[in-house]
Amino acid sequence: MNEIEFVEILKKSFLKNDELLRTGIGDDCAIIQGPKGLNYLITGDGLNEESHFLKNESLEMVFSKLFVRNISDIYAMGGVPKFGMIFSSMKKDDTKNSIPIIKRLSKTFNINIIGGDFNYSAKKRLTMIIIGIQKERYLYKRSNAKIGDNVYLSGYTGLSYFGLKAIKENIDGFEFLKNHYHYFSLPKKKFLARYIENKDINSAIDISDGLIADAQRIASGSNVRLHLEQKNIPIHKEIRKFADFLNINPNNGVISGGDDYEILFTSPKILDFAHLIGEVIKGKGVEIDHLRVKNRNDYFN
């Protein structure tokens, strides 16, 4: 059973009709109707030691990842993060030392921490819930891509993938890539200023599991096919340097690597603030250069 199939089971099992619920299971956030043309966006995501981050990573790195993973969901749906709750299990000293880090990050991202829970355990396990707000008229959902839309990407993918590869293989140098993995990053403020509250955007998703995997989610949710052009998918110069150093093809990591938290979106308009990488066409799934891609490893393996 893949994730899309599992989500469909959850929808059938738990999703109930409610006049205040605009969107439930199956998108980046749940959407609950608010007052005066506003919606509340609610999302939650977690991190487990040695599954989502390395054992020797600092608390600063781990909590930075936690904030970014959750904030990106709010941004992807065109919202602004406002409130957060943190639930953690970790060693007693780590719990104490995490407080100033959480305080600093909440100030950086302008999020008001309103609650949570702390427990003690040998390994770190963290979960965060964020509540954002969104204007009703600017509602970006995975399920709203239209045939004829252009497909856009906010920035570079593959940076975390190659950063982790450099770390695990003990390759000297390439600190830019390593830092990108350690801290993650969000789309640039310049992009967000033109993306949020943009009436020309139809559908969107953040890139958490890889460009192909998340493109599949838009395709599935909207019952369309996303046709992507490999030559138009941007590759960061540091990835090219790293690939040249190892004499490998960078394309697989760029389309399959996760944890980049850029935004993939569709629009019927020609937009100049993101990379145009394809179009929405009739059909199902994702294709690159007219080659159907069924999963993230099909294209280059």
C-alpha–C-alpha distance, residues 269 and 9, integer Å: 35
**pLDDT tens per residue across span 82-103:** 999 999 999 999 999 999 999 9
Q: Evaluate whether 101 touches 162 at the Cβ level (below 8 Å).
A: no
Strand runs (DSSP E) across 53-164, as ranges?
A: 80-90, 112-120, 125-135, 150-153
C-alpha–C-alpha distance, residues 264 and 143, integer Å: 13
Name the DSSP letter for residue 222.
Answer: H
The structure tokens listed for 300 are 């280059």
Strand runs (DSSP E) across 136-270, as ranges?
A: 150-153, 203-206, 225-228, 263-267
What does each C-alpha distance from 199 to 34, 37, 87, 154, 279 come to in angstroms? 20, 15, 35, 17, 19
Q: What is the pTM of this model?
A: 0.91
Q: Evaluate whether 233 touches 254 at the Cβ level (below 8 Å).
A: yes
Measured in degrees and rounded to the nearest 5, phi and psi for residue 172 equal -70, 150
pLDDT at position 184 is 87
pLDDT at position 300 is 41
Per-residue pLDDT for 296 more than 60?
no
The conformational region for residue 179 under phi > 0 = left, psi -120 to 50 = alpha, else beta, is alpha
Sheet with 125-135: strands ordered across = 21-23, 30-33, 38-48, 125-135, 80-90, 112-120
Q: Are strands 125-135 and 80-90 parallel, antiparallel or unpaired?
A: antiparallel
Question: Which CATH number, 1.20.1050.40, 3.40.390.30, 3.40.50.1110, 3.30.1330.10, labels domain 3-135?
Answer: 3.30.1330.10
Could you tell me the residue ranges of all domains in the chain? 3-135, 142-293
Quickly tell me which residue has 């008229």 as its tokens: 137
**Burial class (CB within 10 angstroms; exposed 0-12, middle 13-18, buried 19+) of 32:** middle
C-alpha–C-alpha distance, residues 269 and 12, integer Å: 35
Q: Determine how many CB atoms are found less than 10 A away from the CB of residue 168.
A: 10
C-alpha–C-alpha distance, residues 265 and 195, integer Å: 10
What's CA 108's distance to the chain center, in Å?
19
Closest CA to 300 of 241, 259, 258, 253: 253
**pLDDT tens per residue across span 175-197:** 999 999 988 899 999 999 999 99
Task: Tell me the CATH architecture of domain 142-293.
Answer: Alpha-Beta Complex (3.90)
The structure tokens listed for 266 are 């569709």
The conformational region for residue 88 under phi > 0 = left, psi -120 to 50 = alpha, else beta, is beta
**pLDDT tens per residue across span 155-175:** 999 999 999 999 999 999 999
Q: What is the mean pLDDT of residues 213-234?
A: 96
Tell me the CB-side half-sphere exposure of residue 37, using CA atoms within 13 A: 4
Q: Which helix (H) or strand (E) holds 17?
A: none
**pLDDT tens per residue across span 232-262:** 999 999 999 999 999 999 999 999 999 999 9
Per-residue pLDDT for 47 more than 70?
yes
**pLDDT tens per residue across span 53-77:** 888 889 999 999 999 999 999 999 9
Q: Which helix (H) or strand (E) holds 166?
A: helix 159-168
